Amino acid sequence: MYIFPDYTLKITRRERKKGRLTRSNLAEAIRQVRESGFVVLERVLPDEWVSMMRTAFDEETELYKPHKDGDDKRGGCQAPLRMPFLDPLAVENPWGLQIIETMMGEDIWTIMPYHTNTSWPGADTQHIHRDTQHLFPGYPVALPPTLMVIHIPLIDFTEENGSTEVWPGTHLITDMAPEDTRPEQLAERAALMPSVCTHMPAGSVLVRDMRIWHRGMPNRTNDIRTMLSIVYFRQLHRLPNHLTHLSPITQAAKDMLSERAQRLYRYNPVEE
């Protein structure tokens, strides 16, 4: 299974330099997310940046490496609140945020620390799942997204190291109650539907509606397969003012962020 060309956008050198998609590419990216549930912006980030981040995250994820037979070989780590982990291209990725802000509004928010999705050598096939349910599960029409995620692979995603498999369009399925979305039920239905694997070069940016069905695939290589994953929330009525469990960040970490990034991470409490 290979990713269909329709799900991949090749952006121009000018778009990379400006940090913004053209009007036509933005419209195409939004169309793909609305219809398919995701879009891949191919080779957006500089090779030097990807190499720097991969080195930093490889050192960090080594602390969480599974050592025993039978240990889950999927997971990752929380990004430390220091550079280079707080680099603007990660915490406020301009191309991904342009898509998400257009779809969910400029008042979106997110939280620190962000995470990685890491697959160690020997990782097996994951069960099919959604990361979130519909806001109103009983409603027969899929509403606009309330949670979206930006993924940034730090290594080429291939069939050998386990590119994530997705089922395009499944973010729009509304005829399954949350209690009916157990892995075996999703697997039975997914077997009758087309899927694609998100093969993409390191430094690409994948923007995804978190309701889409997906699963991690086996990592048959000797390399760690890591991607950054930063979740963004739509600002909803009275939310998230009730949240009391968010991780605090230091004032020093906050000071490393731009004004825009501070706005995005505004609900993390700050400690001196």
Provide φ and ψ at 149, rounded to 5°: -135, 145
Distance CA 151, CA 203 (A): 10
Structural contact between residues 248 and 271, judged by C-beta atoms closer than 8 angstroms: yes
Distance CA 84, CA 82 (A): 6
Q: Does residue 5 surpass a pLDDT of 90? A: no
pTM over 0.85: yes
Confidence of residue 197 (pLDDT cuts 50, 70, 90): very high
Distance of CA 197 to the CA centre of its chain: 15
Using DSSP bridges, classify how beta strands 8-10 and 196-197 pair: parallel, antiparallel or unpaired.
Answer: unpaired
Q: Where are the domains of the chain?
A: 5-105+114-237
Of 9-13, 154-158, 234-238, where does mean pLDDT reach its minimum? 234-238
Reference 257, options 90, 145, 106, 121; nearest CA is: 90
The residue ranking higher by pLDDT, 5 or 112, is 112
Tens of pLDDT, residues 135-178: 998 899 999 999 999 999 999 999 999 999 999 999 999 987 76
Tens of pLDDT, residues 23-54: 999 999 999 999 999 999 999 999 999 999 99
Residue 18 has a CB neighbour count (10 Å cut-off) of 12
Provide φ and ψ at 152, rounded to 5°: -125, 105
**5-105+114-237 has which CATH code?**
2.60.120.620
